[in-house]
Amino acid sequence: MIISSLLKKNTMCQHSFFTRNKGFSDGLYSSLNCSYSSNDNVSTIKKNRTYVSEKLNLKEQELIVAQQGHSNKCVIIKHNHDKKIIADAIITSSSNIGLGILTADCVPILIMDKKNHIIGAIHAGWKGASTGIIENTIKNMLSIGGDPQNMIAAIGPSIQQKSYEVGKEFREHFIRLNPNNEELFICTNNKKIYFDLPEYCKKKLSNLLIPEIDLLNHCTYQDNRKFFSYRRSCHNNEADYGRQISVISLL
């Protein structure tokens, strides 16, 4: 469990960026794989999610994990329910609801409005981040009484720049979106290009006037003992991969 020192200061919420460890899966999914989108055994994934819930003193049904699709869609959760939620960000002002995000290189972002007691969880890959998932999440938090000036955001383990090689077209696309994005790329002498996705997300949060941002510099690609990684699984020609979970809840 990886904890943000900024979020930890607020006693009205609990959170964790879980690693891949301490679960029940084996093989490629060893061991805390929490994704039903993987080909892991369903009953084992359920057992892993139960473990996560218990670590945060939540009942199993109180852990809500959206079906993610690299979109910019944010959904407001008003109560516990069993309906499938298709979104890449979820927010709530209700206590005893755990908001869960699954990642395996993309950026997990946990947010809390410490004055108005609103929380959010964001899955930000490059597609979602570039099409407004972070902005839409803050907009939805404002719609239920939030204020950016009272918000704390923690950017969890994700692929770091040194491991995120991209193509020329990718770089040109982001510079067309905003010329200032050029500073997020490193171009080496051998013409390789590397993109800083977590810093991109941090800049978006800063532009939304969020004053406290905790950037946790853990690389999912480099640290195979702690994290699942989609890109690493591709480079290793593995058939599938697991996802770690990040959770936040109001007490």
What is the per-residue pLDDT for 83? 73
Inside any domain, residue 177: no
Average pLDDT over residues 56-60: 94
Predicted confidence (pLDDT) at residue 25 exceeds the cutoff of 80? yes
Q: CB-based contacts of 228: which residues, under 8 Å, 6+ apart?
A: 20, 33, 104, 220, 241, 242, 243, 244
Give the type of residue at 195. F
* Number of structural domains the chain divides into: 1
Inside any domain, residue 87: yes
Nearest-angstrom CA–CA distance, 247 and 206: 22
Nearest-angstrom CA–CA distance, 37 and 20: 16
Q: Are 77 and 23 in contact (CB under 8 A)?
A: no
Inside any domain, residue 196: no
Q: Are 153 and 122 in contact (CB under 8 A)?
A: no
CATH of the domain at 72: 3.60.140.10
| Percent of the chain at pLDDT exceeding 90 | 95
Inside any domain, residue 19: yes
Give the residue from 202, 209, 15 showing the smallest Cα distance to 7.
15
Inside any domain, residue 171: no
Nearest-angstrom CA–CA distance, 68 and 76: 15
How far from chain centre, in Å, is Cα 235? 22
Average pLDDT over residues 97-120: 98
Inside any domain, residue 88: yes
Nearest-angstrom CA–CA distance, 154 and 121: 10
Inside any domain, residue 167: no
Predicted confidence (pLDDT) at residue 95 exceeds the cutoff of 90? yes
Domain that holds residue 236: 5-158+213-250
For 57, the token pair is: 């003193």
Give the residue from 31, 26, 23, 89 showing the smallest Cα distance to 55.
23
Write out pLDDT tens, residues 120-154.
999 999 999 999 999 999 999 999 999 999 999 99
What is the rounded average pLDDT for all residues in the chain?
A: 97
Predicted confidence (pLDDT) at residue 82 exceeds the cutoff of 70? no
Write out pLDDT tens, residues 156-209.
999 999 999 999 999 999 999 999 999 999 999 889 999 999 999 999 999 999
Average pLDDT over residues 107-127: 98
Q: Before 158, cis peptide (omega within 30)?
A: no
Average pLDDT over residues 58-76: 96
Average pLDDT over residues 205-224: 98
How far from chain centre, in Å, is Cα 57? 21
Distances (CA, A) of 21 to 37, 65, 94: 19, 19, 29
- Angle of the 133-143 helix axis to the 197-207 helix axis, nearest 10: 30
Characterize the bridge pairing of strands 63-65 and 89-92.
unpaired
Predicted confidence (pLDDT) at residue 45 exceeds the cutoff of 80? yes
Average pLDDT over residues 4-15: 95
How far from chain centre, in Å, is Cα 14? 16
What is the per-residue pLDDT for 80? 66
Inside any domain, residue 39: yes
